[in-house]
Structure 1
Amino acid sequence: MTQSNEIENSNSTFSQILNAAARLPGVRIERETYLRKALRKHCTPAQIRMAIDESPAAAGIPIAIILEAANTSISYETSKVTGVSALAGLPGGIAMIGTVPADMAQYVGHMLRIAQKLAYIYSWPDLFDEREEVDEATESILTLFVGVMLGVQIAQGGVTKAAAMMAAQVVKKLPQQALTKGIIYPVVKKVAGILGVQMTKKLFASGVAKAIPLIGAVLSGGLTLSTFLPMAKKLQKHLAGLELAKPSVAAKDDPAT
């Protein structure tokens, strides 16, 4: 097999896993519902409405409140994955996975849940529509988010470029062209290839527990605090530092500003 074929196959492997995970029950997060729940204790109805219609940054929500919401979401999702998950346990879920191992789809599904929540609280647009299939731009940005969580350095640059393009153009959607054919796409392909190689070489040869070097526990027994929490924090830290996340109007009494 040539190197180009190996890269293409590894890209396809990760794409299959990501798409299988995205179809599992409970994986997709409804942006409006999440933001309303995350901000309701600290923000006025007008702020929440603007956060939903525009973004938390455009609504001028203080950094301290955003950080608290992010930490709450991370704690909640970490608590869920350390217990027995039902995401891949439903008959419909298993049926949709197909040839992707259930444990791996479930694991990536948990990663996609926290990635969406962190993206929304840090002012990214809605990532999913009502279609069952994941569109190309969403698949690309989720690939980069997973790459950041798993320590793939070049993924950070891809996320930063996408955020900068949206911040500069004041748009409410992902930069479709850049993520699917333009300047960010080569980064996406490389990240997907890296993740796919890890999963292809280690998942099927050594079992699910060794699929990703950072994971040492048996996934079917539940993800542990020591693996999920650091990865979520890694993505949270990166998203928090982007221009897209900076409040348009800083609250005077915000101790973090």
Structure 2
Amino acid sequence: MEESRVVENPESRFSAVLASAAGLPGVRIDRAAYLRKTLARRCSEEEIRRAIDETPAAAGIPREVLDKAADDSIRYETAKASALSAAAGLPGFIALPATVPADMAQYFGHMLRIAQKLAYLYSWPDLFSRDGDGADDATKGILTLFFGVMFGTQSANAAVGQISSMMAKEVARKLPQQALTKGVVYPVVKKVASYLGVEMTKQTFAKTVSKAIPVVGAAVSGGLTFTTYRPMARRLKKHLSGLDLAEPAQPTPGREPSPA
């Protein structure tokens, strides 16, 4: 009975899917490699080096440059997520028990990818350790809040803004563990996780219906991903770009601005 209650708890359901998605191959973004590649056409070598060693904001990279890079990443991840979602829709009704959970994990995996990319562009620190270990509690907390922003929850917006202000004020290079795991933001993380668990169930149902008819189901599934993923990614981009952490440092007097 106790196990059943855990499974049915929306917060636990979301946390389990988040953990599964984070463990999928290709989900974790190498911060340094991503920043170097995405800024290569727009920034000087010195700006790129400082963006990696510190943050894009500390490097003084203009907001419009970061916004263009973010838009490119959103387009890429949206196209990739939609194509894979459509492919997962092909088996049809007989394969539903296998494809629906996999598709949901895959969808959340792509949400994790764009969340990391946008976070790194707008000066958040590395979210995953380099030794390949699972996400720590602070990372799970901030990713939950990022997802909450993508789903349009105001409490998540406020909490992410609060964390950003803490880090900007302290010039912190790591997530504030205490605030995200035990402090003032933690109750918001739990509330947002519960909300996302409910929303996730609704999405699972929608995808189940869309996959009931082969081929047609593939088109509907891919379209459903396209129409939901891109607006959510843009919502996160808009929020992160306006936070304290993303405010570019003032350029050194006499310094030539880099071409956009």
Sort the TM-score into its range (normalised by shorter chain). 0.7 to 0.9
Deviation at 1:6, TM superposition (A): 8.0
CA 1:209–1:115: 2 relative to 1, 3 Å: farther
Contact 1:27 1:112 in 2 (8 A): yes
Deviation at 1:153, TM superposition (A): 1.6
Q: Confirm whether residue 81 of structure 1 aligns to residue 81 of structure 2.
A: yes
Which runs of structure 2 are paired with 1:88-127 in the superposition (5 Å)? 101-127=101-127
- Residue 162 of structure 2 corresponds to 161
CA 1:67–1:252: 2 relative to 1, 3 Å: farther
Which runs of structure 2 are paired with 1:237-256 in the superposition (5 Å)? 237-250=238-251
Where 1:101 maps in the other structure, the secondary structure is: helix
Contact 1:103 1:219 in 2 (8 A): no
Deviation at 1:53, TM superposition (A): 0.7
CA distance in 2: counterparts of 1:228 and 1:22, whole angstroms? 17
Deviation at 1:7, TM superposition (A): 11
Where 1:249 maps in the other structure, the secondary structure is: coil
- Residue 232 of structure 2 corresponds to 231
CA distance in 2: counterparts of 1:25 and 1:87, whole angstroms? 17
Q: Confirm whether residue 192 of structure 1 aligns to residue 176 of structure 2.
A: no
Deviation at 1:62, TM superposition (A): 1.0
Q: Confirm whether residue 128 of structure 1 aligns to residue 128 of structure 2.
A: yes
CA distance in 2: counterparts of 1:20 and 1:219, whole angstroms? 26
Deviation at 1:107, TM superposition (A): 0.8
Instruction: Name the TM-score, length of structure 1 as normaliser.
Output: 0.82
Contact 1:208 1:219 in 2 (8 A): no
Deviation at 1:81, TM superposition (A): 1.4
CA distance in 2: counterparts of 1:87 and 1:116, whole angstroms? 24
Contact 1:23 1:132 in 2 (8 A): no
CA 1:40–1:116: 2 relative to 1, 3 Å: same
Instruction: Name the TM-score, length of structure 2 as normaliser.
Output: 0.81
Where 2:84 maps in the other structure, the secondary structure is: coil
Deviation at 1:8, TM superposition (A): 8.8
Give 4+ residue runs of structure 1 displaced > 4 Å after superposition: 5-8, 85-88, 217-220, 250-254
Name the % identity.
57
Q: Name the count of aligned residue pairs.
A: 238
**Alignment gaps of 5+ in structure 2:** 89-97, 211-216
Deviation at 1:43, TM superposition (A): 1.2
Amino acid at match of 1:145: F
CA 1:64–1:52: 2 relative to 1, 3 Å: same
CA distance in 2: counterparts of 1:32 and 1:243, whole angstroms? 22
- Residue 147 of structure 2 corresponds to 146
Contact 2:128 2:134 in 1 (8 A): no
**Alignment gaps of 5+ in structure 1:** 89-97, 212-216
**Greater Cα radius of gyration, structure 1 or 2:** 2
Amino acid at match of 1:70: A
Deviation at 1:64, TM superposition (A): 1.4
Deviation at 1:209, TM superposition (A): 4.7
CA 1:234–1:210: 2 relative to 1, 3 Å: farther
- Residue 65 of structure 1 corresponds to 65
Moved more, 72-81 or 118-127: 72-81
